[in-house]
Structure 1
Amino acid sequence: MNLNSIFHETMPKIWEDYEPRESQITLSSKIQELLQGSGVLLAEAGTGVGKSLSYLLPAALYSLESGSTVVVSTETKALQDQLLFKDIPLLEKILNQKIKAERALGASNYICKRKWKIAEDTGNFGTEMISQIDNFQEWLSETQTGIKTEYNGYASSEFWSKVTREADNCLGKSCKNFSHSYYFLEKEKWKKANILIVNHYLLASHIAGDFRILPNFDKIIIDEAHNFPEIVGRSFRSEITYDYISKQLSFLYSKENKQSLIQKMGSPENLVDALDEAKESLIKLYSRISSELGLNLYGSVRIKKPLLLDKGDFEISLARIVNLFIDKSTKYSKESENNLEKEIALGLETGISRFRGLIDFFAELRNRKNENLVYWSEPPNFKEKDKFLKLCSEPINVDEIIAEIFIPKMESVIFTSATISSPKGDFNYFEDQIGFKQVERLELDSPFNFQKQSLLFIPKNIEDPSNEERYLEDIFVWIKFLIELTEGNTFVLFTSNKSLKKIHEKLDKESNYPIISQLSQGAIQAKQLYLETDHAVLLGVSSFWQGIDIKGDRLKSVIITKLPFQVPSEPVLETKIEKMKEKNINAFAKVQLPRAGLLLKQGYGRLIRSISDTGIVSILDPRIYTKSYGKTLLQTLPKGVLPETDPRVLLDKYNNLPKI
């Protein structure tokens, strides 16, 4: 099928009011070229280009002709829903053909029938679930997918951990539930899909898991690509807590738990002694961690030097268990007809794998031989009743992972987003993030008339953010003014929870409009409340800077309280900055400024989502005027939109915005 004729002849017949856009046709044609051949494309398509149809159309045509699957990866569930429930049904009408589209989810999203049976037989649900279990069983008898998010009742996180699938705690084909497993039935559908929709986290886990999670594919479109490199880094992250290790040890042996692995094996004395020794060593280890790292209640703190810890005693105790497990594993088989033997064989295999991971983690924390790994601590999660610090590690060479592991596995890779280019208008920042320069580049402007549809307000008389108290006092005055100007219908975007909380407290006392906080309600509930509440004001942090699509008069004002620079003490960034300084590279210009520019562009993009949207974007950070980089950041915003500084002029211009 000819794309040109589809856009010019077929689509106007099917889609009322559709007008062919040259930018959409250009993007779609380029993606078709890449899919039919090979290569890497970076495509920035401004809001309103019609990006999703631009790639779905050539992806579907390629799949239908070749019989192979094209993967589409997104960051947000909202875009996945749009693709599945709006765009692909439209695509089927355009092509007059059924398109097999599936959404792939991570393993932990699915009920594991084997684990559920064990929980059901033992009654090990947890006291918090006793009153809810009948509702859950009723849902389980009706569900076709076993996807936990489709369950509308209450279920605790502890309960989900007992009944959902774990990749390293699965019998696979040796399980009697394999032929009717929710997860494996879904995987069969994935193999047959024309278009397989995944999220970046699952794709990154697929890469981290040696490409064993998803079906084989070599054509991929990565939408909302601006955050993909960071998400890949997180997927290679390790996070270890005292509670996690303690639960692993108790899963293997606990006098109170008759279903623990060691009890199933008849409680061999040498294994019981080894587990008891490991539990004692764990307490000593975390006592040493607390002593060496001190108290941390406020945020991430990088661990710059090797730690003495317990000189490896805990690792030795785990190694003893691993060796005993290896010895015992010869007596058990996952292929056995005996269910108990299968469970023991799987438990031994899982224990060996998890304990080896812990041994490697703490050995590296003591020795620090891998210069590519960054380690840091985070405060205890007091909501989860944690007593000790969380320990984390993450590689800093994400660019190498993408360029040397991921891209060579693919034949065609299309990275696309409304925000890939840097403040200077090139793709250098994103190319550095993916570590790959042999790319084709395409930049397409938004068809919206931002000069007519939007106003940019940047007042000058605001204290520098370094004087936090005065700065918050100043921006509160402007926030209150702007909320009243648009009668609510406002997003206020913050870069820190602390600032949001302080402004929220003042607005609660002094504003007559409904104030909704992401911190109080959670992101999903906050957005829903905002949509349901007239003249509402939503206070949000990172997740509301991007991926939120609210059209019409519900959103008339976006207030950016502070330029979105990443905190330089964030452990991975701090390490990158140090390494760049060693090479005489300006890290601020190379990393921090381009990243802030992308986020600023994303924040501005929340306002104008259709040809009829109008409103104000305000930036309440005086550094736009007082710092040399201010002009550079302004260049990331839509061309021709000039900042207004006078509130009286702003009021007049706002009242004269087009009423469409």
Structure 2
Amino acid sequence: MSNFFSPEGPLAGYLENYEPRSGQQTMAAAVTGVISGDTDSVSAEGARLLVIEAETGIGKTLAYLVPAVLSGRRVVVSTATLNLQDQIMNKEVPLISRVLGREIPVVCIKGRQNYLCLYRWFQYQGSGQFREEDHTDCSMIGKWLEHTTSGDRAELESLPERSSLWPRISAQSNQCLGSDCPEATSCFVNQLRKRAGSASLLVVNHHLFFSDLALRQGGFGEVLPRYEGVIFDEAHHIENVATAFFGKGFSQYQLIDLVSDIERQAETDLDPNRYDRIVGSAKGLKQRTDEFASLFPVQTGKFHLLEFVRHYSYSRWHQEVDLLATGIKRLAKDLGDCSGFGEGWRTLEKRALELADNLLEIALTNDAGETDGYVHWYERRERSVTLSATPVKVADHLRKTLYSGVDWCIMTSATLSSGGDFSYFQQRLGLDESVEFLRLPSPFDYQRRTLIYIPEKGFPEPADPAYQHISCRRAAELLQLSRGRGLVLCTSFRGMESMAAYLEAHLEYPVFVQGNGSRNSLLQKFRANSGSVLVAVASFWEGVDVQGEALSCVIIDKLPFEVPSDPVIQARIQAVTEQGGNAFFDFQVPRAILTLRQGVGRLMRAAGDSGVIAILDVRLFTKGYGLKFRASLPPSPVVRSLHSVGDFYGTSEID
């Protein structure tokens, strides 16, 4: 590995102005040791485990891909974002292939919903029920099918992100006819699986990986071919994604989708009498589900199911649940009776039975309290209700399914520690003391190329009623000094809207706001408009990669503490407390630090970048926990005056 990444090594000849990075070489050597078995880092479950925090500039993608490719083993690389998948497939793997002088058998596998189902497409075309608004998309897809070999919707750049057509023709797993499908030979998903079976490098996202893991755990088959080891990039997302797949869900929309598919199948397969009976039964159940959803309060949000049941009445609640579950099972039997008309009816029957089982498992909670290791909750949206049972801890699930099912596992990200401490990540993912942890700091020159700005003493804290207006004014002052070129990250949609309104009224620079266009289109406008400002929340805290002068100032409105109203977060806080820990310092602070580090990381994306990171939250100095936050920030000089910021940019201070 040291030779491959050395100044005279094979990689240097293919990269202009190549400079070796010691952190990259260290990481590549550590990854090689885990894959080859030359390490003492072995978990209690037998897997060799390695956790690497590799900050921006290390070149971590190549540092794990090169050893994986050279190992000759089948390796899964799992990412959290499509952007990183595209980078691996379109940039990193082709580069390694040129350096090695051979093709690399690699396949990128996405969730089934990303691929077109030929059977459903032909059904939709033959139904004669084209929606007027879908006419253009249908024409485009028809032409695309004449040449596509993948069936991947990503090739349809003109297809709207929220296309109403795509969900009706995509290859959803719960609607798949399997080997009985008349289009099985031409099926894009089946062809993808064949290619995956002969590939040594499988690139997936976390959702697909844990979907496969959950299927294996339940004994329902598998999505991915067998592999020896897995590398998680963007590993700070593992807990949240795993949580979704080791839980259960029942939603009003799931049943509505089932009824729609029953109607569509019935139109194709059944005579008028049987059609009327099946469709009438399905529509009656939909009405029953709507009535069930109306039992819940109209207030939107996420709430504990047990608290609702206590106020509603246990006996009445159980009756309502039993009534709905019985109706679903009765419909399932009717669907099974139609199996002679095609395998699609068996698929519909299985979906109905799964819905009934999930409803009973989630809704019939323990009257004395939730002691099954899951938190049972519901979410009320404007037009639907969802019931969920979510594991409070995923550590045990990971031990049973992941660590015991692979030879080795590597987890890496730019942000896995808080204040240099991996304890939070280690505890949440159930990693024992034998696991090796490696920290590789960024090689970027933060000392000379950046500043961290925190407002002066006396600046209001976020709880102060004056904070919102004063923080907006301060952001505008900073952006005038930076001549725009700023990304403003807010911790709430309300804060974002207030900030955007103020900046639009007080700046001469273009202001782009999340929600007024797709993520990609906003980023393209931001890059293209010199001196512009982008105001955003949520997903823009990570994955935004804008290099050069277009982004010279990152402003964060406040420390990103989560509002502990989410039932899952509440349950996890309670679990930490019950085990004798301090939920604020052991759980809430580390989570906020990891999010803050992601936001701060938007500034320096390349060695030549420079700028100011402004955090408009004086709690970094006024609160005791502020010290741990500051210890987690880059080694930039910290200033507390606008004059120092003006000096950095070479602009005059705002009056």
Quote the residue 2:43 is aligned against: none
Name the aligned partner's letter for residue 513 of structure 1.
Y
> Are 2:338 and 1:343 equivalent residues in the alignment?
no
Tell me which residue corresponds to 2:42: none
Matches within 5 A, 1:173-572: 173-210=179-216, 212-252=222-262, 259=267, 266-267=274-275, 275=282, 278-289=285-296, 294-297=297-300, 299-305=301-307, 307=309, 308=314, 310-322=317-329, 325-326=332-333, 329=336, 332=339, 340-364=341-365, 371-381=372-382, 386=383, 388-423=384-419, 425-437=420-432, 438-460=434-456, 461-467=458-464, 469-572=465-568
How far residue 522 of structure 1 moved from its aligned partner, in angstroms, is: 3.4
Q: CA deviation at 1:205?
A: 1.4
CA distance in 2, matches of 1:325, 1:144: 36
SS at the partner of 1:7? Answer: coil
Counterpart of 1:50, as a letter, is G
Structure 2 residue matching 1:230: 3-state secondary structure: helix
State the distance in 2 between where 1:75 and 1:317 align.
37
The answer to whether structure 1 residue 29 and structure 2 residue 45 are counterparts is no
SS of equivalent to 1:516: strand
> Take 1:264 and 1:571, find their aligned partners in 2: how far apart are those partners?
47
Deviations 1:605-654 (CA, angstroms, capped at 9, x unpaired): 11112221111001101111111111110000123x23101211221133
Aligned residue runs from structure 1 range 572-611, under 5 A: 572-611=568-607
Q: Find the aligned partners of 1:94 and 1:130 in 2 and give their Cα distance.
A: 47
Q: SS where residue 540 of structure 1 aligns?
A: strand
How much does 1:530 deviate?
1.0
Of stretches 51-60 and 129-138 in structure 1, the one that deviates more from structure 2 is 129-138
Give 3-state SS (helix, strand or coil) of 1:42's partner.
strand
CA distance 1:635–1:472, change in 2 (3 Å): same
Structure-2 change in CA distance of 1:5 and 1:341 (3 Å): closer
**1-side partners of 2:351 and 2:23: how far apart?**
52
Distance 1:326 1:575, change over 3 A: same
Which residue, out of 62, 68, 73, partners 2:71?
62
> How many Å separate the matches in 1 of 2:95 and 2:77?
17
The TM-score with structure 1 as length reference comes to: 0.89
Is the deviation greater in 492-501 or in 511-520?
Answer: 511-520
Distance 1:303 1:462, change over 3 A: farther
Distance 1:177 1:413, change over 3 A: same
Report the count of equivalent residues. Answer: 629
Tell me which of 90, 93, 101 is aligned to 2:95: 90
Give the residue type in structure 2 aligned to 1:55. Y
- Three-state SS of the structure 2 residue aligned to 1:47 is coil
SS in 2 for 1:4: coil
Contact 1:296 1:378 in 2 (8 A): no
**Shift of residue 560, structure 1, vs aligned partner:** 1.0
Distance 2:532 2:214 in 1: 42
Give, in angstroms, the shift of residue 365 of structure 1.
Answer: 8.8
Report the CA distance between 1:578 and its aligned residue.
Answer: 1.7
Q: Secondary structure at the residue paired with 1:180? A: coil
CA distance in structure 1 between the aligned counterparts of 2:271 and 2:588, rounded to whole angstroms = 54
**What CA distance in whole angstroms lies between the structure 1 residues aligned with 2:328 and 2:268?**
15
CA distance in 2 between counterparts of 1:276 and 1:87 reads 51
Structure 1 pair 259/459, CA: closer, same or farther in 2 (3 Å)?
same
Tell me which moved more, 217-226 or 357-366.
357-366
Specify every segment of 5 or more residues in structure 2 that has no aligned partner in the other structure, as ranges.
38-46
Aligned residue type for 1:187: R
The alpha-carbon distance between structure 1 residues 162 and 486, as it changes in their structure 2 partners (threshold 3 A), is same
Q: 2:84 maps to what in 1?
A: 79
Distance 1:278 1:58, change over 3 A: same
Q: 1:151 aligns with which of 148, 156, 160?
A: 156
1:19 maps to what in 2?
19
Letter in 1 for 2:94: P
Which residue of the partner structure matches residue 336 of structure 1? none
Shift of 1:215: 1.2
| Segment of structure 1 superposing worse, 602-611 or 130-139 | 130-139
Report the CA distance between 1:260 and its aligned residue: 7.7
Relative to structure 1, is the Cα distance of residues 185 and 367 closer, same or farther in structure 2, using a 3 angstrom cutoff? Answer: farther
2:58 paired residue among 49, 53, 58: 49
Alignment equivalent of 1:119, drawn from 117, 124, 127 = 124
- Three-state SS of the structure 2 residue aligned to 1:466 is coil
Return closer, same or farther for 1:206/1:345 CA change in 2, 3 Å cut-off.
closer
Report how far residue 30 of structure 1 moved.
Answer: 0.7
Distance 2:299 2:523 in 1: 32
* Paired position in structure 2 for 1:617: 613
CA distance in 2 between counterparts of 1:570 and 1:56 reads: 37
* 2:585 maps to amino acid: A
Residue in 2 that maps onto 1:137: 142
SS at 1:143 equivalent: coil
Amino acid at match of 1:94: V
Question: Structure 2 CA distance, aligned partners of 1:22 and 1:329?
Answer: 62
Gaps of at least 5 residues in structure 1 are 334-339
Contact 1:365/1:375 (8 A) holds in 2: no
Q: Residue 157 of structure 2 aligns to a residue in which SS?
A: coil
